């Protein structure tokens, strides 16, 4: 990985030129090793005369979503979607009031919610995500994305994205990269905002999905209460990257140990490779968590990053700005 850390003359020239022209492509990144590393990597793989050159077709970058492109505190945003949907659907299901795990959601008792086990959460996820057509699901997802607000900032969830990451996605695309999402979250929810918010079209979103079948009468895709295997997390990520993309990414960006295998896979091929880990260490502007958080737990990645040549990105140190300015509405 030695070459990846060296800023080539060409890279330096490109950065200086951009600076002189006033067109810094990463204005929300502070000067420092992370920003340097990104610039030198992109310079190396795009320099047609350099030995690190990578053809545009092979410039594949994969990004985790929860905690990497948008926040994941105080809970995964998809969990908020599930809870809101269960409450909205409760009128049609009077039996839920007395039935676990629905009772925990409808009781408005935060303790009951926190006490849900994986089996209970899965049942809630299936009840809110399946048993309808894709078109119906998309309508409820769109309505929720428009109306729901983050519990502590009051902003739409789609504004709880990281401005420096938006700039990085755009910078990579401007340099011939394909930018993909590879998330443990539900693929169909992410696809409803990824193009508008991240500039990532639905065909470049990989996530956890449910089984579907074609309804004979009208050709609608019906959503079935069964998760596709493997879940797109941990060792499942390289499996789904293989299914969707069919070639190994050269850049991967994650934030938790659920991204470890994705980062290891991206950096296991020949030539220039870059893996980055976003470290949530800014309790003032965002949240500070790693080893002890049930959401976004990060231990192994931090420990092995130096030896593996993976770049740790600190929100506190490397992000000049965290969230984008609110969209005018």
Binding interface with a second copy (CB under 8 A): 57, 134, 178, 187-188, 191, 195, 201-203, 205, 209, 211-214, 216, 219, 221, 229-230, 235-236, 238-239, 242-247, 261, 264-265, 268
- CB of 153: closest distance to a second copy in angstroms? 29
Tell me the sheet residues that pair with 319.
29
Q: Output the CA–CA distances (angstroms, integers) from residue 146 to 81, 92, 95, 137, in the order listed.
A: 12, 23, 29, 14
Cβ closer to a second copy: 20 or 307? 307
Tokens, residue 187: 């693929």
- CB of 329: closest distance to a second copy in angstroms? 23
Cβ closer to a second copy: 265 or 272? 265
- CB of 274: closest distance to a second copy in angstroms? 17
- CB of 301: closest distance to a second copy in angstroms? 15
E strand spans, the chain? 60-63, 178-186, 205-208, 210-214, 221-227, 251-254, 274-279, 311-314
Cβ closer to a second copy: 42 or 206? 206
- CB neighbour burial string for 209-239, b if at least 16 within 10 angstroms, e if fewer: bbebeeeeeeebebbeeebbeebbbbebbbe
The DSSP symbol for 199 reads: S
- CB of 147: closest distance to a second copy in angstroms? 23
Cβ closer to a second copy: 39 or 81? 81
CA 216 to chain centre: 35
Cβ closer to a second copy: 109 or 226? 226
Cβ closer to a second copy: 244 or 321? 244
Work out the end-to-end distance of the chain between its first and last CA atoms, rounded to an integer number of angstroms: 45
- Cα dihedral sign, 58-273-52-175: positive
- CB of 73: closest distance to a second copy in angstroms? 28
- CB of 103: closest distance to a second copy in angstroms? 34
Q: How far apart are CA 197 and CA 320, in angstroms?
A: 20
């Amino acid at each position: 990985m030695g070459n990846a850390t060296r800023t080539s003359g060409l890279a330096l020239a490109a950065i200086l030129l951009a600076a002189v022209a006033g067109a810094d492509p990463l204005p929300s990144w502070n000067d420092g090793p992370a920003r340097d590393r990104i610039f030198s990597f992109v310079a190396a793989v795009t320099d047609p005369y350099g030995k690190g050159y990578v053809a545009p077709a092979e410039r594949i970058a994969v990004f985790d979503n929860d905690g990497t492109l948008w926040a994941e505190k105080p809970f995964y945003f998809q969990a908020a979607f599930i809870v809101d949907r269960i409450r909205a659907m409760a009128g049609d299901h009077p039996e839920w009031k007395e039935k676990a795990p629905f009772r925990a959601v409808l009781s408005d008792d935060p303790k009951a919610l926190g006490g849900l086990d994986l089996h209970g959460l899965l049942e809630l996820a299936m009840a809110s995500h399946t048993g309808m057509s894709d078109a119906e699901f998309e309508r409820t997802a769109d309505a929720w994305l428009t109306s729901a607000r983050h519990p502590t900032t009051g902003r739409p969830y789609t504004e709880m994205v990281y401005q420096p990451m938006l700039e990085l996605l755009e910078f990579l695309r401007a340099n011939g990269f394909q930018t993909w999402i590879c998330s443990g979250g539900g693929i169909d929810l992410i696809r409803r905002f990824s193009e508008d918010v991240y500039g990532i079209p639905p065909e470049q979103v990989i996530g956890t999905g449910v089984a579907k079948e074609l309804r004979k009468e009208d050709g609608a895709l019906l959503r079935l209460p069964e998760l596709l295997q493997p879940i797109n997390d941990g060792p499942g990520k390289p499996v789904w990257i293989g299914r969707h993309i069919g070639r190994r990414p050269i850049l991967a960006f994650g934030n938790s140990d659920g991204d470890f295998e994705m980062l290891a896979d991206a950096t296991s091929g020949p030539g220039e490779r870059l893996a980055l880990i976003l470290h949530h260490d800014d309790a003032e502007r965002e949240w500070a968590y790693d080893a002890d958080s049930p959401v976004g737990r990060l231990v192994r990645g931090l420990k092995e990053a130096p030896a593996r040549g993976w770049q740790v990105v600190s929100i506190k140190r490397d992000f000049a700005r965290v969230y984008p300015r609110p969209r005018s509405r």
